[in-house]
Structure formats: structure tokens, C-alpha cells
Structure 1
Amino acid sequence: MKVTVRYFARYRSLVGKGEEELEVPDGITVGELIEILREKHPVLRNEVFAEDDDLADVNVSRNGRYVRFDEVLHDGDVVALFPPVSGG
């Protein structure tokens, strides 16, 4: 199945593009997609995304709605990755 991944803010700069389409296995979860992206773009693994046991360093939306990492993706989904936001 195909999903579109959109990168925002620092992720866009690190990956060098704002969007890409990926062929992924059917039934993949958001967390598994993040693992694929960490393999495909090592700069994300090394500089941005948290270690495997803590994915809280990335906010993810699917088709415009924030999702959990165990949510299953479907063909044609658009997944957007945002860095965590903080402020005061």
C-alpha cells in the first residue's frame, strides 16, 4: 500500500523535502512507519526522533487528525510529522 509522508519544520530541513510517497506493508502502524523513516533517513534517527522505546519526540497526524503510534494505517493515508512544540 502507499502512504504519503509530509515533513514539517525541522524535519523538512533535515530530510531535504516536504513530502514523499512510500510503499509500505499492509497493516503497518504509525510506530512501524516511523521506524521505516528512521532507517530511510538516518539523520532523523540520529538527530531528531527518540529511541525506539520513546516515540514521544514526534507528533504525528493521519489525514489531519493526531494519532497514537499503535494506530493502523490504510492505503492512501497522508501522515504528517511535526516536532514537539513548547513555549511559555
Structure 2
Amino acid sequence: MKVTVRYFARYRSLVGKSEEELEVPDGITVRELIEILKERHPVLKNEVFAEDDDLADVNVSRNGRYVRFDEILRDGDIVAIFPPVSGG
């Protein structure tokens, strides 16, 4: 199945693109997709998602809605990855 991954803010700068389409196994979870992204873009592993506990430092949406890391993806999903928002 195919999913589109959109990168925002720091993640866009690190991977050098704003979007890519990936062929992934049917029924993968958001967490499994992140593992694929870490292999595809080692800078994410080194700079952003060093350990599973660090997943709290990333926000993920699927088709415009925040998702849990155990949520299963479907063909055609658009997954956005962006850092936590802070402000005052």
C-alpha cells in the first residue's frame, strides 16, 4: 500500500524534502512507519527519534487528525510529522 508522508518544521529541514510517497506493508502502525522513516533517513534516528521514549517529542497526524503510535495505517493515508508546538 502507499502512504504520503509530509514533513514540517525541523523535520522538513532534516530530511531535505517536504513530502514523499512510500510503499509500505499493509496494516502497519504509525510506530512501524516511524521505524521505516528512521531507516530511510538516518538523520531522524540520530537527531530526533533516538529512542522509543523520544516518540513523545513528535506529533503525528493521519488525514488531518492526531493519532496514537499504535494506530493502523491504510492505503492512501496522508501522514504528517511535526515537532510539538510550544508558545506563550
User: Superposition RMSD on alpha carbons, in Å?
Assistant: 1.0
More helix by share: 2
Consecutive unaligned residues of structure 1, counting only runs of 5 or more, are: none
Aligned-residue identity in percent: 90
Contact kept? 2:48, 2:54, Cα under 8 Å: no
Q: Which residue of 1 aligns with 2:12?
A: 12
Aligned residues: 88
Query: Residues of 2 paired with 1:63 and 1:12: CA distance?
Result: 18
Which residue does the alignment assign to 1:48?
48
Q: TM-score, normalised by structure 2?
A: 0.95
User: Contact 1:3/1:24 (CA < 8 Å) preserved in 2?
Assistant: yes
Q: Partner of 1:74 in structure 2?
A: 74
What is aligned with 2:26? 26
* Runs ≥4 residues deviating over 4 A: none
Structure 2: stretches of 5+ with no match in the other structure: none
